[in-house]
Amino acid sequence: VSSGYVISNNDFVNTLTSIYLFVFNAIITGNHFTNVKSYAIEADYTVNIAVSGNTITNSSTADFVYAEYSSDIKIQGNSISNTSTAIEFDYSSGITVSDNSIMKSQYDAVYLYSYDGSIDNVNVTGNAIKAGEYGIEIYVDGGTASNINISQNKLVDLTSYGIYIKTYSGKNYTLDNNTILNSSYPIYIFYVVQNIRIDGNRISNLSDYAIYLEYGSAASISGNEISGFHGNAYDQYGIIVEYSAGGIISNNIIAGNSTAYGAEGIYVYLSSGFSLFGNTVSNVTYGIDVEYSGNFSVFGNTVMNNPAEDSTYGIYSYSNSLYSYYGNTVSGSNYSLYSESDFAGVFYGNTFSNAHNYMLYLYDSSSLTFYHNNFLNGSRIKTYFYGTSNLVWNLSLPVGGNYWSNYSGTGSDGIGSTPYKVNGTSVDYLPLTSRWEGYMITFVETGLPIGTAWSVTLGSSTVSSETQTVAFNPDAAQHITQVYTVARISGYVVSKSNGQITLNGTDQVITLAFTPVTYNMTFTETGLPSGVTWSVTVGSQKLSSSSSSINFLLSNGTYNYTIGTVTGYHTNTATGSFQINAAGKSIDVSFAQNKYTLLVTETGLPAGDTWTVNVNGSTSTSTGNSIEVYLVSGTYNISITGPAGYNVTMSSHSVTIDNSNATISAVFKNTTVTAKTSNSGALYEGLGAGAVIGAVVGILGTMMLSGTGIFRKFGKGKGGTQ
């Protein structure tokens, strides 16, 4: 690993991999790459690398940049054309990809991948991407992706996805002010994303979903412009949100076309606790479609000019509960309002006009309340009710009921003197004699758990809610200024606790952000050498440090924690739980070095003999054939001794313990000479030592005289006598 390289102004032609990096602190600039086969720039375990002002062409099988396990990488101002994947990062964080021109990538222009890991702190901004399959893709299989900013990019002519993000857990996403043209799925995000903002994007000529969000929470989808649905546009959606909780869908403009039959403007499915307001939807089959959802508000939207087909819907509501629609304007649909299998909904202050067929179509819905709505269709207001129950068409005076354009009754106080028959047994007993011209002051909160009760006081009136909105309906345009106050919620602070509003006859929306009060949760370690990195995970949040403490900011609640593994060390507090209750807390984490087994084995000693192992001056003794010594990582000198009369041969005189066990063998050898006795020794049993010596001397003398045995004499020459 090296540092401080500058690689500049080179021409690389017909290479497999042009530049390979395994470094810290490098600059790669002004180079030209042509006909690269695999990678123009490949980087492993790199830190702080800047790649700028380079050009690559005609390299359809190669990546321009491929990096693994890297961080603090900046890819800026490069010209990239005709590559396989232009820029790819695997298992990397701290990435900036900005102001590049990327054309004709076979697969992805920008691709970030991790399996069962994390991707954090990514900025992809200001790039011009044209012609390929995927524009910008972040794919985290089983891990997390957090702090992602994808803004001000232009993506054109992509066969699949413009911006695609898949993660099993993520938070803090910003996708702002991108322009995406001619893509099947311009923005597609799914799986457990918290705190996501998709604002100010311009999307045109889509063939499937313009903006898709699945399993999101605390999302803001606002100020986007979507247009150019293709003809015969079945399964095309402007905005689709599924399986999500909380959030805002506001001030978007979605424009289909007169032939976009089957397209939907805004579709929400199996979600709760959201607010949908200020949107304008035109020329689609379904204007606003909400299904299997609850605890939400839809207000101040405009749906118009839907095609005059048999099945076009201004507002389509299916199997929802505990919701409100107010202040919406719907004109020109086959069904102005379609409600099926709904329960406990409120409709007020809406204007429905120019229905091609049914102004109201209610099927198996119950406990719905209608007041202050305008139903405008000349003398023909067509309704269809089936299986409905507990429908309420007016509130008690002074509120009253609804305005019906075909109602002929009169009344001096603005309330008709005779009831209005809506359908069958449904009757508006207090119909209005003129159009309702009221306006709404709506407070929209974000940040509170779904179902939390909160309230606002405006002037002398206080309204409480367990949904995301609190709405006021002033009597008239009073042109006065009133003070509002937001009630305190324990454990939270609000962005605007009070303020002033001028009541001037126009609808107004005030957004309020509640954030939890946080407290310090500090983990302090002992036992690690200075500078060693350690980590703690609390819930889904992981923090690392090379100092002795790690600090989390947490709101009230019960949390589980895990101490990350540090190679060569262990702790007895690796997992646990704690509770934050309006005060900070600390936990001490004590690390100790792991001990590993040094196994010393011997051969050659008789059973029961004692032998000894000396490791850096510390001895261990055994009468068996092995000795185990427990050591932390390090290098050790080894000596072995045995009983007298034995020497020892060792497989090694030192050992290095590197976070694993080790083995040394020893062979003992007897150094004592032992006389061997034959069976003839039995001849001398019972004789004294002198007799034995005499007998031996006699035998030796006989052998010398007879010339036998080992004393036989030879002549000097070949023919000499013996």
Domain boundary among 592, 622, 647: 592
Torsion, Cα 413 416 417 422, to 10 degrees, reads -160
543 in a structural domain: yes
Same domain, 501 and 617: no
197 in a structural domain: yes
Domain boundary among 670, 687, 703: 670
Instruction: Say if strands 101-103 and 108-115 run parallel, antiparallel, or are unpaired.
Output: unpaired
Same domain, 531 and 615: no
Statement: residue 639 has pLDDT above 60: yes
Is there a contact between 247 and 268 (Cβ–Cβ < 8 Å)?
no
Decide which of 664 and 505 is more confident: 664
Is there a contact between 269 and 249 (Cβ–Cβ < 8 Å)?
no
Distance CA 291, CA 318 (A): 5
pLDDT 10s digits, 11-29: 999 999 999 999 889 999 9
460 in a structural domain: yes
Residue 228 is predicted with a pLDDT of: 83
Same domain, 61 and 196: yes
Burial environment of residue 671 by CB neighbours within 10 A (0 to 12, 13 to 18, 19 or more): exposed
170 in a structural domain: yes
Single-letter amino acid, residue 574:
A
Same domain, 54 and 171: yes
Can you give the three-state secondary structure of 218-286, one letter per residue?
A: EEEEECCEEECCCCCCCCCEEEEEECCEEEEEECCEEECCCCCCCCEEEEEECCECCEEECCEEECCCE
Residue 691 is predicted with a pLDDT of: 34
Same domain, 456 and 553: no
Q: Residue 576 sits in a domain of what CATH number?
A: 2.60.40.10
For residue 237, give every residue at least 6 positions away whose Cβ sits within 8 Å of its Cβ, in sequence order, or none.
208, 209, 210, 212, 263, 264, 265, 267
Same domain, 158 and 171: yes
102 in a structural domain: yes
Same domain, 531 and 625: no
Residue 227 is predicted with a pLDDT of: 92
Residue 105 is predicted with a pLDDT of: 94
Same domain, 548 and 609: no
The count of domains in the chain is 4
For residue 92, give every residue at least 6 positions away whose Cβ sits within 8 Å of its Cβ, in sequence order, or none.
67, 68, 69, 70, 71, 73, 112, 119
Distance CA 100, CA 102 (A): 6
Q: Which residue has the tokens 């700028």?
A: 52
pLDDT 10s digits, 408-440: 999 888 999 999 999 989 999 999 999 999 889
pLDDT 10s digits, 69-89: 999 999 999 999 999 999 999
Beta-bridge partners for 203? 180, 226
Same domain, 60 and 148: yes
Residue 289: pLDDT band with limits 50, 70, 90: very high
In eight-state DSSP terms, residue 568 is T
Same domain, 55 and 115: yes
711 in a structural domain: no
Residue 688: pLDDT band with limits 50, 70, 90: very low
Residue 260: pLDDT band with limits 50, 70, 90: low
Statement: residue 701 has pLDDT above 50: no
342 in a structural domain: no
Statement: residue 571 has pLDDT above 80: yes
Same domain, 43 and 122: yes
Distance CA 432, CA 436 (A): 8
Same domain, 626 and 661: yes
Q: Which two tokens stand for residue 576?
A: 């646990």
Domain boundary among 516, 548, 576: 516
Which of 6-15, 269-278, 289-298, 532-541 has the lowest average pLDDT? 532-541
231-235 — which CB contacts under 8 Å span 24+ positions? 231/257, 231/259, 231/260, 231/261, 232/259, 232/261, 232/262, 233/259, 233/260, 233/261, 233/262, 233/263, 233/285, 234/261, 234/262, 234/263, 235/208, 235/262
653 in a structural domain: yes
Structural domain for 525, as ranges: 519-592
Q: Residue 77 sits in a domain of what CATH number?
A: 2.160.20.10
